Structure 1
């Protein structure tokens, strides 16, 4: 299990923040690789995420369930990735610190299971803090843009995509290393040519 928490200040009222937060498709739309968000009911949704990296394209469906709506200060949720032994939970908390300022804290926990759990933790431990921070930056920008106090350039998602692809590349690298270690495969040593430079 790995988890991370990140706090940030949004330059608008807690009610303006909630107006964006209560819209689940808005969250999905700023997630890197977002393809679709299907609302099942008020608490459940299915996100489709597509990632292309290292010559491989993978599409995953993530089932998201909101366990608690506490307007305007808290949302608790759980999620599970279809066809992968990965699930988790998280929370959103907000508090007004002024008439037009809101302190927001995002918390995410990822739980891997089965024989691949060590791989997920090895990849996720260094990557999750940066991912949560990047997502929080994007969320802040989108909320401020919707409230009329932000700019289009601040809400640009371009910066997040290279970081997310880097996470995927690292995952493949750790997978390869993990499987080689599991089956006792050692990398070939490069031999120096004899007589070179004589």
Structure 2
């Protein structure tokens, strides 16, 4: 199972991280390969992502289900393609270090099944850790950008 986890210590209060990650509309566009998303309800959405993994380029429609909202520390989700050939899960977790310092953790696991699953998983193995770090860093940058705008 290709997976990645990224931990960052940031000078952002935990509530500010929660305010951002608790709304999928804030971070869905930051996912690598993001094309569009549609919210179905508070816990379900459909995302269209274009995967460009060198030898494999494909647009994928993913169903995302929020499995856990734990204010202010965690948002967890599962994902699957319509034909269940791609499945996975992930989360954003925040751990309060001090009033203005938080450890933020991003995690993502994706597995491809079916005839091409073994090949796709071998391509995903190096990609998922990088995508997880890229997404976590992009979320942090967006939160910092919003904080800067609020402060000025």
User: Contact 1:17–1:143 (CA<8 Å) still a contact in 2?
Assistant: yes
TM-score (norm 1): 0.68
Point out where structure 1 has 5 or more consecutive residues left out of the alignment: 150-198
Structure number with greater CO (CA < 8 Å, separation at least 6) is 2
TM-score (norm 2): 0.87
- The DSSP-based 3-state class of the residue aligned with 2:79 is strand
Assess, with a 3 A threshold, how the Cα gap between structure 1 residues 63 and 18 changes in structure 2: closer, same or farther. Answer: same
Work out the number of aligned pairs and report it.
149
Residue pairs, 1:22-171, within 5 angstroms:
22-50=22-50, 58-83=58-83, 85-148=85-148
Point out where structure 2 has 5 or more consecutive residues left out of the alignment: none
User: Contact 2:90–2:109 (CA<8 Å) still a contact in 1?
Assistant: yes
- The DSSP-based 3-state class of the residue aligned with 2:90 is strand
The alpha-carbon deviation at position 53 of structure 1 amounts to 8.3
The alpha-carbon deviation at position 50 of structure 1 amounts to 3.6
Decide which structure has the larger Cα Rg and report it: 1
User: Contact 2:43–2:65 (CA<8 Å) still a contact in 1?
Assistant: yes
Measure, in 2, the Cα distance between the counterparts of 1:106 and 1:64: 16
The alpha-carbon deviation at position 57 of structure 1 amounts to 6.9
Q: Higher strand proportion, which one?
A: 2
User: Contact 2:44–2:64 (CA<8 Å) still a contact in 1?
Assistant: yes
- The DSSP-based 3-state class of the residue aligned with 2:42 is coil
